[in-house]
Chains A and B, each alone.
Chain A
Amino acid sequence: KNEVEQSPQNLTAQEGEFITINCSYSVGISALHWLQQHPGGGIVSLFMLSSGKKKHGRLIATINIQEKHSSLHITASHPRDSAVYICAPAGGTSYGKLTFGQGTILTVHP
């Protein structure tokens, strides 16, 4: 069983729709990262959070430590949001080892 489960694996949306990507994990964590991987391959860190909620522009990330669950929301989705979104809980070790989910492939159509 994977330590990190993301759902859905694939998501297709129309421009303007509200998007939710879910992440469940089984390991104890110190923080959780959300990453975005563009079609060209580059990886960008979107959020790092250890409790509550964070917002950056149209992106919102939430985490429930007790339920070992995090969500990434995209409001008013746009075709440029098309990418792979990766959830990565960070273990409680001193070096903050990340365990990566398989990723959610998001395609937003105009």
Chain B
Amino acid sequence: NAGVTQTPKFQVLKTGQSMTLQCAQDMNHNSMYWYRQDPGMGLRLIYYSASEGTTDKGEVPNGYNVSRLNKREFSLRLESAAPSQTSVYFCASAGAAAGEQFFGPGTRLTVL
């Protein structure tokens, strides 16, 4: 099992460009999450999906959109990237909504 995979690992964007971060899990988990991690801020929840077909905002959703494509895949889209979105992005999944979370390796995004 690969667990939780994320692509790409690194990305550099110019302000205003758009991109989609991909996340997939092969553990048949219902819940999936997108976090960002910034120095001195800790991890913060951007969006989550409690089950296939549902998505909800987390703590810092502005500037992002998500799609729960199917049970396996949960993508995060930046429509118009801003330097404030420079961060490391982690996807996670959990079998139950309040269960142990399994994290992907992260995507390091720089917006110039």
Contacts and interface: CB of A to CB of B under 8 A. Distances in A.
A86 B42 contact: yes
A48 B102 CA distance: 12
Contacts of A35: 103
A94 to B, nearest CB: 6
Interface string B72-112: 00000000000000001010101011111111011010000
Interface residues of B, number: 25
26 contacts: A30-B98, A41-B106, A41-B108, A42-B103, A42-B105, A42-B106, A43-B103, A44-B103, A45-B101, A45-B103, A48-B100, A86-B42, A88-B43, A90-B98, A94-B98, A95-B31, A95-B48, A95-B56, A95-B98, A96-B97, A97-B58, A98-B43, A100-B42, A100-B44, A102-B42, A103-B42
B13 interface: no
B67 to A, nearest CB: 18
Contacts of B92: 43
Interface of B: 31, 40, 42-45, 48, 50, 56, 58, 88, 90, 92, 94, 96-103, 105-106, 108
A31 interface: yes
Contact of B42 (A42, A45, A96, A101): A101
Q: Which of A30, A44, A90, A96 has the most CB of B within 10 A?
A: A96
B44 A45 contact: no
Majority secondary structure of chain A interface residues (helix, strand, loop or mixed) = strand
A39 to B, nearest CB: 13
A103 B45 CA distance: 16
Contacts of B42: 86, 100-103
B28 to A, nearest CB: 17
Nearest to A96: B98
